[in-house]
Each structure stands twice: as structure tokens, then as C-alpha cells.
């Protein structure tokens, strides 16, 4: 553009009334809307829509390969009286509660240990992460061998030591099977908790510890009144995720037990898959999956708000 | 686990087949392509999803067949493999969304989950039936829906009794017992000798379903009658459950948690002396330990109070989806696969793992080359469909996938529920599925 043309153009701009379209693309408020669109589109397309579809399916009698008709709450009525479904709720709650508590305790313990001066710190920390890095299906297969009724390494070792005469029936007895799958889940979940809490521990300023030590605080008091309060936001987040992962666990159970023995380890997720995909009853499977939502919401509420009421969680600054 | 039909693997296998008379396969393929009533569309490309093979030689023969087909007709075939339990979900999604592999080779009553989405194959099946001595009744049961063929049963994988001859003899049985009463005595004696039997009561889609349906049917119990009315609550079912409990007490511990691989492992390790399985245990033993393989014998499931064989074997039908752009090429491929020149090689590659459903193949040398395979020749003839005496359809498939009968038996034999409770909860689930 030449130097003479520039003022001309400016003049024209100043004179011309902006069209509705021009206002739409330049107005600050609308601009915010445009910038938000991609994120909203992604959320609606990949999260809200599938969720809504799943809930909708649960009110129909859809089968794979055939559209269903709206049947209202019939699926839920049926499930409320279905002993296998009720058992799967019990299993899921038990599995999540026990595994999450143990994972938290072990994870916190590990994190505190790793936060001390240990030799080969970096290597030890990476080793701790290994269970989390191994693909779930692989670790589940490894556990499947460990728990095998005939070839379990645990049974074999105990027999060699003369402590046992027969193999332990890890996955064939309901109680043993529940304990076994929970242990496998804990093994897999502890590193996530430990490493995240460790990251939280390292943000605690050493000067606070020094001051407390000068004031003559015991180690327990230091943990109780400095470490723990400063760690709670991280704990809330970690436990929320941990509970979510555990509650929706699928691969581990599917590889180890398929929900057996006699449905003693069927979780809601595995039962939903079995009925919806393998059994072809999409509506009923969707109803089982939808039934997980209230439990998840409660679990999140408990671990997120129950553990700690801090202002940042309500969107204000921490002071 | 996808590999293209013309990748390293097929070239290796194809090369081997070429060296060993593969050229006459190609020669036949070319002549066949000229004469066949099924002409592929120009430029056709096919994709095929199959269950993942259990016996490597079977897959090699399969790949060689596809290779010859491609060379003769110019139609390329892309194969993907899926663990046999995962074929059904994939097929269901393909049927639901109207896209996916042109041909799916799955199992049992898969085709009856979505008969409206499949290509009518009556012309193909009539052609093969006429040429090869007719289809066995099981093939018609699985293949036909509403009077037309919707899938083509390619093979049956028999689950026959596998036993260690020496252990059975030691237990005092010269011959393998032919009835359920003798069978129970044998299992008791085997347990007393420390050489136990074991059959799965876990969620093992293949082995457990095959075993528990034999238990139920051989005592005259059925989930539904021929009009799909639920009749599981019957004195026959009670007898079957009682018999199962007596058997279970003689089994090696832990069979409630068994999946499809567990009995193979335990048998090959020498811990298990009697089970039911495909021929894969024997094939694996033959490759590794000859003496052990010599001791493995096969037999039929014993006949129960109903007085005739009532077994359940895995049937593998192939189906063409009507969204395919190349229905004729798909038919041509399936026809080609079942022609004697390929099919016979394939049967021998499978070494007894797959049984034909066309009568003419009864005389195939695969069944007599090794006498231990002969038992498996009857798999297709001794098997009822997965629906028992009921209608083959989505309800039957659903009941099977949901382990209804497996759970009923497991519930009772483990003592979790009494007979009435186990039957009642199964009846309730069945009525929902069959409503």
C-alpha cells in the first residue's frame, strides 16, 4: 500500500457503518465466544454426547444390530431385582473402598520414605513407577500366572518350603478371589499415589520444617501440623483420580477372573461389558453403566470436598 | 493383530506351499476361477476378519488358500485376526454401523444376531451341498434363517474327551466309559489314584459352555423348548445338577476359576489326566514330547440318561455383510475355500482341530492318517446347536454369552446356592432374555 493510499483507507473505515457480520467477528464479547467454541465443541462431541447417548440407551431395549424402543425405567426395575447386578455393586464398592484406602496408606508411606535422603534417589524413584508403566493387560497376565490354580509361584514356593500340601485356590474361592484382585489393583495403583504425593511433599518449604524443629516439634507433630495440611489439596486430587480409576477398573478383572468365580468379582464395568457387548443387550448394559454415575459422583464428592474444604476449590484464592 | 494377506508371513507360508505342490493349487485356482459360477467384481478388494488360529499349520494352509485365490482372480484379501471371543463384539459393531470387514468368520450363532444385515448365500450353499454330499444337520441349523442361508458353516472345532490312557487303565477301566454312570466311577477312581479329572466351571466361553451343556442336555434338561419357552426348572435339570456336584467333588481343585487355556496347561504339565478339549493338547504334545502324546487318547462325551449323544461343539460360520461392495467376490472366496483342493489341505493343516460339515469330507485322509484324530471326525454330527433344542437366534446367543448355564452349575457345585436357588435365578435371567 502506498503512503498516500493509507489515510484514504483509514477515512473509509471511519465512515463505513460496520455490518452485523463485522460486529460479530470483532466484538470482544463475541470474540470470547469464538475462542471458546473449539473447546466446547470437543467437550460436547466427545464427552457430553456419548454420555447422553449412554443414558438414553439405558431407557431403551436396544440390542446390538437393532434399534430399540423407549421402555422407560424397565431396565432399572429389572436390575434392582437382579442378584448378579446387586452383587456387582457390592463387589465394586468393596473393591474401590479397600483398594483406595490401602493405596493411599501405602502411597503416602512410600512418598514420605522417598522424600528422605535415600541413596540412588533418582533410580529408586523410577523403580517405584514401574508397576504404573507396565500396560495393565500385561501386569494382569503376570498376576494371572501368579494366581494360577496349578502353577502359582506362591503355592509352589510354599510347597517347596514345606508349609503347604496343596495349591492355594486363589481365584476359585470367592473370598480368595476378591482379595487377590484387590492386591493386584493395589500393586498397580500405588506408584501413581506415591509419586504424586511425593511431588506434593517437595513443594513444602524446608523453612517451615526448620522453624518447627527450632520450636521443638516432634516428627509426628511436624507431619500432623505442617506436612499433612499442606498436602491435603494434592491428596484430594490424587484420591479423586485413584477412586475413579479403581471404580471403573475393567482390564484387570477381565483378564484374571472374567467376573468369576460365580460372579464373585464381577464389577459393574465388567458386567456391563458382558451384558451389552458379549450378550448383545445394549440397553441393559447401558443401564448398568449409567448406574455407576451416582456412585462416581458420591465418590468424587467425598474425596474432593470431604477431605478438605479450601477456598480454591470454590474458585477463590488460598490465603 | 492385523496383517495384510500379502505380507511377510503369507509370502513365507505361500513360498513353502509353492515348494510343496503349491503350484498345482495355483493351477487349480486358475481353472476354478474360469469355471466357477461366482465371478468376482472387477477390481474387488476384500477384507476378512477371522478368529485367531489355535494351530499354526491351519493358519498357514488358510493363508496359502487366500494367496492362490488372489493370484487366480486378482482379488486381494486383507485378513485380520481377533481372539475368538472378540470376534462377536466386532461383528456386532460392524453390523450396527454398516461398515467393517466384508466377511467375518466367527462362531456359533453369530449370524443370527443380525440376519437382516447379511447377504443371502443360498446359491453358494446349495452349490456346495450338491457337490459335496450334502450338509450335516448342524450346518443347516446354524446356516439358515427364514428358509435362506445367511452364513456358511466352515468348520467345527470339536471338544472331545482327552484322557491319559495309562491313568484310566490304572483306575481299572480298559475302555473309556460310554455312559455317565461309568464316567463318574472313573472320575472317582482317578481322584483316588491322585490322577484327577477336571472340567471348567469358570467363564471359559468355549470349554465351560461345551462341558455344562453336555451335563444339562445329556440328562434331558434344556434351557428352552422348541418354541423358546423357558423350561430350565425341570426334574431333569435337578438330576444334571446333582450329577455335576458328584463329578465336581472328584475334580482337581480350582476348576471354578478356569478359563479356556487352563485345562490345556494343567494337562500338558501332567497334573490333569482327564478333560475335554479340542485336539490342540495332543498336537502340542506331539510336537514336544512324543511319549506323552502316545499316552493321550480321545473319546466321546459319555451318553447320559437320554440315551443319545448330546454335545456342544464350537461351530465356525462365515458371513458376508450386506454393506459389502463386492458380494460376488466374497462368495467366490468362500466357495473357493470349501472346494476339495483347498479344503482337504486345510483340514490336514488343522490336524483334526477343524471338522467339516459337508458329508463328502468324511472320507478325507486327515481322519485316518493318525487314528487319534478319528474321534474328531464326528464333532459336527454329535453336536446340537448352541441353542439346544430351541430356536437359534439372538436370545440363544445372548444366554450363551452371559454364561447362564455355566453360572447355574457353578452356583450349585460350589455350594453358593442350593438346587432350587440355582435353578430359580437362572430361570429368571432366561425369562428376561427369552421374553
CB interface of A with B, residues 23-42, below 8 Å:
none
**pLDDT-based confidence at B364, cuts 50/70/90?**
very high
- The mean pLDDT value for A175-180 works out to 93
**pLDDT-based confidence at B187, cuts 50/70/90?**
very high
Nearest CB partner across the interface for B256, out of A63, A151, A261: A261
Please report the number of interchain residue pairs, chain A to chain B, with beta-carbon separation below 8 angstroms: 109
**pLDDT-based confidence at A317, cuts 50/70/90?**
low
CA distance B113 to B317: 13
CA distance A279 to B402: 6
Q: Which helix (H) or strand (E) holds B431?
A: helix B419-433
Under 8 Å CB-to-CB from B279, ≥6 apart: which residues? B158, B160, B298, B351, B352, B353, B372, B373, B376
* CB–CB contact A83 B425 (8 Å): yes
Residue B304 has pLDDT above 80, yes or no: yes
Q: What's the start-to-end Cα distance of chain B, in Å?
A: 38
Predicted local confidence at residue B235, as pLDDT? 95
Q: Is residue B150 within 8 angstroms of chain A, CB to CB?
A: no
CATH number assigned to the domain with residue range B2-158+313-382, chosen from the 4 options 3.65.10.10, 3.40.228.10, 3.40.190.10, 2.40.160.100: 3.40.190.10
C-alpha cell of residue A280: 448383545
* CB–CB contact B402 A275 (8 Å): yes
* CB–CB contact B257 A63 (8 Å): no
Q: List the helix and strand counts (H, then E) for chain B.
A: 20, 11
Per-domain boundaries in chain A: 5-57, 74-314
Cα atoms in the 13 Å half-sphere on the side-chain side of A148:
18
Predicted local confidence at residue B341, as pLDDT? 86
Q: Is residue B120 within 8 angstroms of chain A, CB to CB?
A: no
Substitution target from A151, A280, A286 for chain B, most B beta carbons within 10 A: A280
* CB–CB contact B114 A279 (8 Å): no
Q: Is residue B264 within 8 angstroms of chain A, CB to CB?
A: no
Residue B339 has pLDDT above 80, yes or no: yes
Cβ–Cβ < 8 Å for B260, B206: yes
* CB–CB contact B255 A83 (8 Å): no
Establish whether the linkage from the previous residue to B435 is cis, with ω within 30° of 0. Answer: no
Backbone angles phi, psi at B76, to 5 degrees: -85, 145
Q: Cell 432374555, residue?
A: B433
Cβ–Cβ < 8 Å for B233, B423: yes
Residues pairing with B431 in the sheet: none
pLDDT of B244-291, one tens digit each? 999 999 999 889 888 888 899 899 989 999 999 989 899 889 888 888
CB interface of B with A, residues 402-421, below 8 Å:
402-403, 407, 410-411, 414, 416
Name the residue of chain A whose CA is nearest to B84's CA: A278
Residue B20 has pLDDT above 60, yes or no: no
Substitution target from B88, B203, B418 for chain A, most A beta carbons within 10 A: B203
CA distance B118 to B122: 12
C-alpha cell of residue A15: 465512515
Under 8 Å CB-to-CB from A140, ≥6 apart: which residues? A184, A251, A252, A254, A255, A256
Cβ–Cβ < 8 Å for A167, A155: yes
Cα atoms in the 13 Å half-sphere on the side-chain side of B313:
35
Contact residues, chain B, for A83 at CB < 8 Å: 425
Name the residue of chain A whose CA is nearest to B417's CA: A262
Predicted local confidence at residue A64, as pLDDT? 72
Does the domain at A74-314 match CATH 3.40.50.360? Answer given as: no
- DSSP strand E in B15-75: where? 45-51
Predicted local confidence at residue A308, as pLDDT? 59
* CB–CB contact A148 B265 (8 Å): yes
Predicted local confidence at residue B301, as pLDDT? 95
Predicted local confidence at residue B14, as pLDDT? 40
* CB–CB contact A257 B203 (8 Å): yes
Q: Is residue A277 within 8 angstroms of chain B, CB to CB?
A: yes
C-alpha cell of residue B407: 453360572
Contact residues, chain A, for B253 at CB < 8 Å: 149, 166-167, 169, 172
Contact residues, chain B, for A166 at CB < 8 Å: 253
* CB–CB contact B203 A259 (8 Å): yes
ipTM for the predicted complex comes to 0.74
Closest CA to B26 of B36, B38, B35, B17: B17
Contact residues, chain B, for A259 at CB < 8 Å: 203
Q: Buried b vs exposed e over B215-240: b needs ≥16 C-beta within 10 Å?
A: bbbbbbbbbbeeebebbbeeebbbbb
C-alpha cell of residue A214: 527450632
Helix axes A174-202, A136-146, angle to 10 degrees: 140
Predicted local confidence at residue A88, as pLDDT? 94
CA distance A22 to B65: 66
CA distance A254 to A273: 10
CA distance B62 to B68: 10
CA distance A220 to A211: 15
Residue A309 has pLDDT above 80, yes or no: no
Per-domain boundaries in chain B: 2-158+313-382, 160-312+402-433
Across A2-6, A33-37, B109-113, B233-237, which has the greatest mean pLDDT? B233-237
Residue A310 has pLDDT above 70, yes or no: no
pLDDT of B307-335, one tens digit each? 999 999 989 999 999 999 999 999 999 99
pTM over 0.80: yes
Q: Is residue B255 within 8 angstroms of chain A, CB to CB?
A: yes
pLDDT of B37-88, one tens digit each? 888 888 889 999 998 887 788 888 889 899 989 988 889 999 999 887 788 8
Q: Is residue B397 within 8 angstroms of chain A, CB to CB?
A: yes
pLDDT of A211-250, one tens digit each? 999 998 898 998 888 888 888 888 888 888 898 889 989 9
* CB–CB contact B394 A149 (8 Å): no
Predicted local confidence at residue A117, as pLDDT? 79
Range in A94-98, A129-133, B375-379 the model is least confident about:
A129-133
Nearest CB partner across the interface for A278, out of B89, B93, B265: B89
Instruction: Measure in Å the smallest separation between the Cα of A253 and chain B Cα atoms.
Output: 12
DSSP state of B358: B
Range in A293-297, A299-303, B330-334, B354-358 the model is least confident about:
A299-303
Name the residue of chain B whose CA is nearest to A167's CA: B253
Contact residues, chain B, for A65 at CB < 8 Å: 92, 95-96, 113-114, 117
What is the SS3 assignment for chain A? CCCCHHHHHHHHHHHCCCCHHHHHHHCHHHHHHHHHHHHHHHHHHHHHHHHHHHHHHCCECCECCECCCECCCHHHHHHHCCHHHHHHHHHHHHHHHHHHHHHHHHHHHHHHHHHCCCCCHHHHHHHHHHHHHCCHHHHHHHHHHHCCCCCCHHHHHHHHCCCCCCCCCCCCCHHHHHHHHHHHHHHHHHHHHHHHHHHHHHCCCHHHHHHHHHCCCCHHHHHHHHHHHHHHHHHHHHHHHHHHHHHCCCHHHHHHCCCCCCCCCCCHHHHHHHHHHHCCCHHHHHHHHHHHHHHHHHHHHHHHHHCCCCHHHHCCCCC
- Give the DSSP per-residue string, A85-127: HHHHHHHHHHHHHHHHHHHHHHHHHHHHHHHS--TTHHHHHHH
Substitution target from B254, B273, B427 for chain A, most A beta carbons within 10 A: B254
* CB–CB contact B401 A262 (8 Å): no
* CB–CB contact B398 A279 (8 Å): yes
User: What percentage of chain B exceeds 70 in pLDDT?
Assistant: 94
Locate all alpha helices (DSSP H) within B74-106, ordered by sequence. 84-97
Q: What CATH topology corresponds to B160-312+402-433?
A: D-Maltodextrin-Binding Protein; domain 2 (3.40.190)
Q: Is residue B114 within 8 angstroms of chain A, CB to CB?
A: yes
Q: Which helix (H) or strand (E) holds A192?
A: helix A174-202
Closest CA to B239 of B213, B221, B264: B221
Predicted local confidence at residue B43, as pLDDT? 87
* CB–CB contact A65 B414 (8 Å): no
Residue B6 has pLDDT above 70, yes or no: no
Range in A119-133, B4-18, B260-274 the model is least confident about:
B4-18
Residues pairing with B315 in the sheet: B156
Amino acid at each position: 500500500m502506498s503512503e498516500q493510499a493509507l489515510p484514504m483507507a483509514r477515512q473509509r473505515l471511519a465512515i463505513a457503518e460496520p455490518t452485523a457480520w463485522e460486529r460479530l467477528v470483532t466484538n470482544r464479547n463475541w470474540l470470547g465466544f469464538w475462542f471458546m467454541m473449539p473447546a466446547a465443541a470437543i467437550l460436547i462431541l466427545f464427552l457430553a454426547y456419548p454420555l447422553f447417548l449412554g443414558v438414553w440407551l439405558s431407557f431403551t431395549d436396544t440390542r446390538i444390530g437393532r434399534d430399540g424402543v423407549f421402555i422407560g425405567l424397565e431396565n432399572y426395575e429389572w436390575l434392582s431385582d437382579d442378584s448378579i447386578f446387586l452383587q456387582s455393586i457390592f463387589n465394586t464398592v468393596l473393591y474401590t473402598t479397600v483398594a483406595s484406602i490401602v493405596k493411599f496408606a501405602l502411597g503416602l508411606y512410600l512418598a514420605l520414605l522417598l522424600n528422605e535422603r535415600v541413596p540412588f534417589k533418582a533410580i529408586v524413584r523410577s523403580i517405584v513407577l514401574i508397576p504404573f508403566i507396565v500396560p495393565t493387560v500385561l501386569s494382569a497376565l503376570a498376576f494371572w500366572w501368579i494366581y494360577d490354580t496349578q502353577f502359582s509361584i506362591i503355592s509352589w514356593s510354599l510347597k517347596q518350603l514345606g508349609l503347604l500340601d496343596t495349591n492355594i485356590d486363589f481365584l476359585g474361592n470367592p473370598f480368595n478371589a476378591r482379595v487377590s484382585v484387590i492386591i493386584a489393583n493395589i500393586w498397580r495403583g500405588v506408584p501413581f499415589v506415591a509419586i504424586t504425593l511425593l511431588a506434593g511433599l517437595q513443594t513444602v518449604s524446608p523453612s517451615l520444617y526448620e522453624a518447627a524443629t527450632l520450636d521443638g516439634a516432634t516428627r509426628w507433630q511436624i507431619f500432623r501440623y505442617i506436612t499433612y495440611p499442606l498436602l491435603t489439596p494434592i491428596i484430594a486430587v490424587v484420591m479423586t483420580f485413584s477412586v475413579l480409576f479403581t471404580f471403573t477398573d475393567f482390564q484387570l478383572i477381565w483378564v484374571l477372573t472374567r467376573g468369576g468365580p460365580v460372579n464373585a468379582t464381577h464389577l459393574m464395568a465388567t458386567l456391563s461389558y458382558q451384558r451389552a457387548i458379549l450378550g448383545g443387550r445394549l440397553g441393559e448394559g447401558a443401564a448398568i453403566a449409567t448406574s455407576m454415575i451416582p456412585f462416581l459422583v458420591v465418590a468424587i464428592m467425598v474425596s474432593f470436598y470431604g477431605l478438605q474444604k479450601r477456598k480454591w476449590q470454590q474458585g477463590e484464592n488460598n490465603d | 493383530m492385523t496383517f495384510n494377506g500379502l505380507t511377510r508371513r503369507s509370502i513365507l507360508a505361500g513360498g513353502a506351499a509353492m515348494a510343496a505342490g503349491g503350484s498345482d493349487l495355483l493351477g487349480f485356482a486358475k481353472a476354478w476361477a474360469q469355471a466357477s459360477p461366482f465371478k468376482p467384481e472387477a477390481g474387488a478388494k476384500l477384507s476378512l476378519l477371522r478368529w485367531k488360529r489355535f494351530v499354526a499349520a491351519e493358519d498357514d494352509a488358510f493363508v496359502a488358500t487366500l494367496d492362490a485365490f488372489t493370484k487366480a482372480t486378482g482379488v486381494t484379501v486383507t485378513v485380520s485376526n481377533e481372539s475368538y471371543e472378540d470376534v462377536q463384539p466386532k461383528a456386532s459393531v460392524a453390523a450396527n454401523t454398516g461398515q467393517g470387514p466384508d466377511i467375518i468368520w466367527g462362531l456359533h450363532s453369530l449370524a443370527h444376531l443380525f440376519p437382516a444385515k447379511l447377504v443371502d448365500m443360498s446359491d453358494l450353499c446349495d452349490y456346495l451341498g450338491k457337490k459335496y454330499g450334502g450338509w450335516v444337520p448342524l450346518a443347516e441349523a446354524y446356516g439358515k434363517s427364514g428358509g435362506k442361508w445367511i452364513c456358511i458353516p466352515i468348520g467345527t472345532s470339536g471338544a472331545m474327551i482327552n484322557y491319559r490312557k495309562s491313568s484310566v487303565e490304572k483306575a481299572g477301566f480298559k475302555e473309556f466309559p460310554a455312559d455317565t454312570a461309568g464316567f463318574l466311577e472313573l472320575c472317582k477312581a482317578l481322584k483316588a489314584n491322585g490322577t484327577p479329572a477336571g472340567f471348567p466351571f469358570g467363564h471359559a466361553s468355549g470349554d465351560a459352555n461345551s462341558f455344562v451343556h453336555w451335563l444339562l442336555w445329556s440328562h434331558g434338561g434344556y434351557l428352552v423348548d422348541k418354541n423358546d419357552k423357558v423350561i430350565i426348572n425341570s426334574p431333569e435339570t435337578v438330576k444334571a445338577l446333582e450329577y455335576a456336584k458328584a463329578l465336581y467333588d472328584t475334580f482337581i481343585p480350582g476348576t471354578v476359576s478356569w478359563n479356556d487355556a487352563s485345562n490345556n496347561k494343567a494337562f500338558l504339565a501332567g497334573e490333569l489326566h482327564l478333560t475335554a478339549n479340542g485336539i490342540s493338547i495332543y498336537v502340542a504334545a506331539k510336537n514336544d514330547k512324543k511319549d506323552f502324546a502316545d499316552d493321550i487318547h480321545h473319546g466321546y462325551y459319555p451318553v447320559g440318561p437320554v440315551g443319545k449323544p448330546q454335545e456342544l461343539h464350537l461351530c465356525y460360520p462365515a458371513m458376508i455383510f450386506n454393506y459389502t461392495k463386492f458380494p460376488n467376490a466374497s462368495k467366490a472366496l468362500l466357495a473357493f475355500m470349501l472346494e476339495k483342493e483347498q479344503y482337504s489341505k486345510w483340514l490336514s493343516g488343522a490336524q483334526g482341530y477343524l471338522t467339516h460339515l459337508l458329508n463328502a469330507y468324511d472320507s478325507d485322509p486327515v481322519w485316518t492318517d493318525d487314528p487319534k484324530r478319528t474321534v474328531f471326525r464326528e464333532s459336527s454330527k454329535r453336536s446340537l446347536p448352541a441353542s439346544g433344542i430351541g430356536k437359534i437366534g439372538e436370545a440363544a446367543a445372548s444366554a450363551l454369552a452371559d454364561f447362564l448355564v455355566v453360572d447355574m452349575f457353578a452356583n450349585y457345585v460350589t455350594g453358593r446356592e442350593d438346587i432350587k436357588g440355582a435353578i430359580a435365578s437362572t430361570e429368571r435371567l432366561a425369562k428376561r432374555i427369552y421374553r
